[in-house]
A = this chain, B = another copy of it.
Amino acid sequence: MTKAVKIEVISLGDELVRGDVLDTNSAQISLAIETLGLAVWRHSVVGDRVSDIAWLLRSAVGRSREIICTGGLGPTLDDCTVDAVGRAFQLPAQEDPQALGQVARRYAAMGRELDPSGRRQARLPRGAGLLPNPGGTAPGFTLRRGAARLWFLPGVPREMQAMLELHVLPGLRANYELTPPLVVTLHCIGMSESVVQERMRVLSSPGLRIGYRAVLPEIQVRFAFEPGAEKEHVASLVERARSLLGRAVFAVEHSDGPKGDSTIAAVVGRTLLEKGQTVACAESCTAGRVAAAITSVPGSSGWFTEGAVVYSNQAKSRACGVPGRLFVEHGAVSEAVATTLAQAIRRRAGTDWGISTTGIAGPTGGTPEKPVGTVYVAVAGPGGTTSRLLRLPGDREMVMALATGSVLDLLRRRLEQA
């Protein structure tokens, strides 16, 4: 990436710094910037106080080349970005005729008369360049201070996004030699983040940035290659990574390749669709999360027909015909019950595959032999039934999420063999 260009994002607003509202603008701006082959290195948030904003702007100009600010441009008195810019750079605010025209037209279009507070939005710091706002009343503006350029956009996410694409991204493209990086992402499951890290250590090389991201139940490994990296080099490195991670890798994405949903549920779904096969699930401890994961993929009615959430033992017996003696002999959390559930739902639904979970999600219900986190998952299909015993870490939600990923992963491995 063109790391040379230091870009930072500043979000302004009491509601953000107080935690009442999540700052989504900064992340949206970072994602948009990255597609250009540039990177945002810093986010900052302060409230609606002229002195705090002025201080932040002055220090930003000293450390970044491009500074993108959102918020504080509205009609109310706590919208004080223009005054803060004035304080920071000795640029008194003055009413801009062109800006006034745009604000007046917006108000007219809304059938509202332009009161003094509405008129405040036409004030710009002296020497600033107007950035028209196609979707709202408050215009933005841009400004140069020494080597730095500042962009000021409204805080309303929809208006910010529109002005980012209309003004900021073209402005950056025009100013820098951009070569988008090649990023290869390996999606892994069934291996802890630290184990993945350990295995990837041998691959570290100059000009390669390896990043890791845990998105339960997955671990994503991102290889960012310097622009101009040789195809052979990239291919051989990705191949080495795959062999080091083995079957934990269930999807590989190239930033210059087709974009797609690469969750374990999406990959399993696509495979089933290609094979023209279907799946149904019987869940005890995951209680609907497996069905929810499968159906989070659009078009899932093409491979998923039904699921049974058999939380109580009676439900397990009635809905999936689990014989009462199994509970006595093995307990509800057992390989015997998991395999019976998978086979029963497959038979009942008439699908190619039946998958199941049974376990102890906690916080209570654990025993010395079967502590919280003990989960059995099973997959029944062409070629028989496979099951796996898991000892999962974390709290109730984490155990449920990992169990959901594990049964989908077990199905994925069966599908690869089939």
A residues at B contact (CB < 8 Å): 14-24, 26-31, 34, 39-47, 49, 52, 56, 59, 74-78, 109-112, 115-118, 135, 158, 192-195, 197-198, 201, 211-213, 222, 281, 283, 286-292, 294-296, 298-301, 304-312, 314-315, 318-319, 348-349, 362-364, 391, 393-398, 400
With both chains docked as a complex, state the minimum distance between the C-beta of A17 and any C-beta of chain B, in angstroms: 6
Residue contact B117 to A198, C-beta cutoff 8 Å:
yes
Give the residue name and chain of the B residue nearest to A212 (CB): B76
With both chains docked as a complex, state the minimum distance between the C-beta of A320 and any C-beta of chain B, in angstroms: 10
Instruction: Select which of B21, B287, B296 is within 8 A of A295 by beta carbon.
Output: B287
* Complex alpha-carbon distance, A110 and B192, angstroms: 11
Kindly list the 8 A-B residue pairs having the minimum CB-CB distance in the complex, ordered from nearest: A288-B288, A19-B30, A288-B291, A307-B309, A306-B315, A20-B211, A19-B27, A287-B295
* Complex alpha-carbon distance, A290 and B291, angstroms: 11
* Complex alpha-carbon distance, A23 and B23, angstroms: 8
Residue contact B20 to A222, C-beta cutoff 8 Å:
yes
Q: Please, which residues of chain B bring their CB within 8 A of the CB of A362?
A: 298
Instruction: Select which of B18, B110, B111, B192 is within 8 A of A211 by beta carbon.
Output: B18
* A110-B393, A193-B75 known; A309+B288 contact, CB < 8 A: yes
- Known contacts A20-B213, A21-B27, A288-B292; 11 additional CB pairs below 8 A are A20-B222, A21-B213, A23-B23, A42-B44, A77-B197, A110-B393, A117-B198, A283-B288, A292-B400, A295-B311, A306-B311
Instruction: Select which of B43, B74, B295 is within 8 A of A45 by beta carbon.
Output: B43
Q: Please, which residues of chain B bring their CB within 8 A of the CB of A21?
A: 27, 212-213
Residue contact A194 to B115, C-beta cutoff 8 Å:
yes
* Complex alpha-carbon distance, A28 and B307, angstroms: 36
Residue contact A117 to B197, C-beta cutoff 8 Å:
yes
Residue contact B31 to A27, C-beta cutoff 8 Å:
no
* Complex alpha-carbon distance, A17 and B312, angstroms: 45
Q: Please, which residues of chain B bring their CB within 8 A of the CB of A76?
A: 193-194, 197, 212
Give the residue name and chain of the B residue nearest to A11 (CB): B43
Give the residue name and chain of the B residue nearest to A32 (CB): B19
With both chains docked as a complex, state the minimum distance between the C-beta of A264 and any C-beta of chain B, in angstroms: 16
With both chains docked as a complex, state the minimum distance between the C-beta of A297 and any C-beta of chain B, in angstroms: 9
Q: Please, which residues of chain B bring their CB within 8 A of the CB of A23?
A: 23, 26-27, 43
* Complex alpha-carbon distance, A42 and B48, angstroms: 11
With both chains docked as a complex, state the minimum distance between the C-beta of A282 and any C-beta of chain B, in angstroms: 10
Residue contact B45 to A75, C-beta cutoff 8 Å:
no
* Complex alpha-carbon distance, A195 and B75, angstroms: 9
With both chains docked as a complex, state the minimum distance between the C-beta of A192 and any C-beta of chain B, in angstroms: 7
Residue contact B42 to A18, C-beta cutoff 8 Å:
no
Give the residue name and chain of the B residue nearest to A278 (CB): B312
With both chains docked as a complex, state the minimum distance between the C-beta of A138 and any C-beta of chain B, in angstroms: 10
Residue contact B295 to A288, C-beta cutoff 8 Å:
yes
